[in-house]
Structure 1
Amino acid sequence: MSALLTTPRPTSAATGGSPRPGVARPRSLARGIGVQVVLWAYAGVAFGPLLLVLIGSFRSNADILRAPVGLPSSFDVSNYTRAWETASISTYFLNSLAVTAASVVLCVGVSALAAYALARWRFRGRALLAAFFLSGLMIPAKLGLLPVFYMFQSMNLIDSRIGLVLLYAASGVPFSVFVIMGFMRGLPGELEEAARIDGAHEGRLFVSIVLPLMRPALAVVTVFQFAPTWNDFFYPLVLLRSSEKYTIPVGLTRFFGEFAADRGTLFAGLVIALVPLAVVFALATRQIVAGLTAGMSK
């Protein structure tokens, strides 16, 4: 009697339910393979020219002219020696390194102090001051080139690397303050309160407590300040007059004109110009990911 009253359980297909896991697995696997193929194809398109430049920097000019794409017969570093010494890449490289490093340090230092004060302190006019900093994001810096030029001329900063440092640092402050201030507002203030209770003054608190917590945000603003400053062609072209003060983007234009027929030396110069960017991105990648994913995990 009980056997007659027992009815078979309906299948998922009959009830319109979700398909069995075995059916969905091939689709998800195919989707994952498709995504991987697209990503590797994009990586090949993006890094393919860079790889060709790197390989070409170790080839002789005769080999490049005979076969533009190919592996070097022997890894010869004479192209790098010629680019560094004969083509004055060393001068341009060191100028860019000094200007970029000084502007990044100045910009990040000022922005960290300002963002900490705006995010943690309560004082009259704080909102107005924050709006003043952030208003710099709405105005392209290059639109103010003429006033900046006349101001630098009155201050004797034309053809001066110090003027470039000040200009780059000031132009990067609005974005840096915006990023660091947003990051600071998402951090709990219990550690700072505990340090104040223990008798730490604001300078000690900032150096020992706040700066380590800021490290992901500082890495983000460092990369975003370093890359455009290193690659900038416009301001050095307008504000510098002496060739011995040129940065790497402006110096490469002269370099291309002098060594247009020597492809191996050209490739070596391009690789030298790309090395600092690659190093900075490699060192800051972990901190950048930590800054972008902060607060996503409980």
Structure 2
Amino acid sequence: MSAPDLTIPVARRRQDREPWTLERIIVHALLIFFVVLAIGPVLIVIINSLKTTPAIFGGPFDLPTAKTFSLEGYKRVFTRGNFIVNYRNSLIVTVTTIVLTVVLSTLAAFALVEYRVRLASLLGGLFVLGIMLPIRLGTIPLIQMMLAWKLMDTLAALILVYTAMSIPIAVTLMVTYFRTVPTDLKEAARMDGASELRTFWIVLPLVRPGLAAVAALTMLPVWNDLWFPLILAPSRQNQTVTLGVQQFVGQFMNDYPALLAALTLGAVPLVLLFTLFSRQFISGLSKGYSK
């Protein structure tokens, strides 16, 4: 018995590859250009944060060497700044907001899809309207509300505002995912005696890409926001990373290694998280908006 010819699948794969046409080369060149344009400034900030001040001005695009390498900027950030407290506050606010947004938006979207009530369309429209209206327009009523609830200058105020800001787009996105869940699966679960909560848990694994997209969409604006931390939680013990970096910029304007180190510390967590979960984020977001 002769051995199978293993060259046929390889040949077929080569034939299936698209040829490198001029149009394809131009598209890839443009994509590479925009990637460099987006990542380049971040890399320059990180590289210069590891150098001395004379090295920054002498060669801003040069890599650190044994003579120019320095971590003094990072030391000054942690000794003279408040970054440990800032990171703790940002993590508390961001993680709590993500959990609340995912839980509340998922339950709301499931209810809007499953229960055919008269107000379902009106409620869905209100969520869409909430996406279009910027929450910063209601800054003064929010301040009055937080003062009445005695939550001014607390992390709880930020969590409540960010959760309310994130829920409209999260519900709208999750509704598109729940509508794709097969009705037969839900009906079979109910016929087997499953409660509504049990049915919800059964279909939840089918919408996991949507959960990842909602978490990523919630994380980015919450971590980067400066407006509400400056207004609702300005004290030193409640400052977030973004507010801490902003005040650090004003305080150490001439200390460029420390300034660049502060900017790096503020941006690196988002870069790392987006790098780790970029596939889930892009997949969940593109599938959700295309349905």
Interval containing the TM-score (normalised by the shorter chain): 0.7 to 0.9
| Residues 156 and 217 of structure 1: CA distance in aligned 2, closer, same or farther (over 3 Å) | same
Q: Determine if the alignment matches structure 1 residue 68 to structure 2 residue 60.
A: yes
| Conservation of the 8 A alpha-carbon contact between 1:233 and 1:249 | yes
Following the alignment from structure 2 to structure 1, what is the Cα–Cα distance between the partners of residues 103 and 78?
Answer: 32
Q: What secondary structure is seen at the aligned counterpart in 1 of 2:21?
A: helix
Q: Determine if the alignment matches structure 1 residue 227 to structure 2 residue 224.
A: no
* 1:147-158 matched pairs, under 5 angstroms: 147-158=141-152
The CA deviation at 1:167 is 0.5
Per the normalisation by structure 1, the TM-score is 0.83
| Residues 149 and 270 of structure 1: CA distance in aligned 2, closer, same or farther (over 3 Å) | same
The one of 162, 172, 188 equivalent to 1:168 is: 162
**Structure-2 residue corresponding to 1:38:** 30
The one of 107, 111, 119 equivalent to 2:113 is: 119
Following the alignment from structure 2 to structure 1, what is the Cα–Cα distance between the partners of residues 92 and 137?
Answer: 26
Q: What secondary structure is seen at the aligned counterpart in 2 of 1:244?
A: helix
Q: Determine if the alignment matches structure 1 residue 178 to structure 2 residue 176.
A: no
| Conservation of the 8 A alpha-carbon contact between 2:94 and 2:223 | yes
**Structure-2 residue corresponding to 1:242:** 235
Q: Which has the higher Rg, Structure 1 or Structure 2?
A: 1
Q: Identity percentage over the alignment?
A: 38
**Structure-2 residue corresponding to 1:201:** 195
Render the CA deviation track for 1:130-188: whole Å, top value 9, x for unaligned.
22322212322111111111111111111111011001001111111111101211222
Per the normalisation by structure 2, the TM-score is 0.85
Following the alignment from structure 2 to structure 1, what is the Cα–Cα distance between the partners of residues 285 and 42?
Answer: 27
Following the alignment from structure 1 to structure 2, what is the Cα–Cα distance between the partners of residues 292 and 91?
Answer: 33
**Structure-1 residue corresponding to 2:74:** 80
| Conservation of the 8 A alpha-carbon contact between 1:227 and 1:277 | yes
Following the alignment from structure 1 to structure 2, what is the Cα–Cα distance between the partners of residues 120 and 85?
Answer: 54
| Conservation of the 8 A alpha-carbon contact between 1:84 and 1:269 | no
Render the CA deviation track for 1:5-38: whole Å, top value 9, x for unaligned.
xxxxxxxxxxxxxxxxxxxx98x62221111211
Work out the number of aligned pairs and report it: 271
Q: Unmatched 5+ residue regions in structure 2?
A: 1-17
The CA deviation at 1:284 is 2.6
| Conservation of the 8 A alpha-carbon contact between 1:55 and 1:72 | yes
Q: What secondary structure is seen at the aligned counterpart in 2 of 1:199?
A: coil
AA matched with 2:127: F
Following the alignment from structure 1 to structure 2, what is the Cα–Cα distance between the partners of residues 265 and 132?
Answer: 46
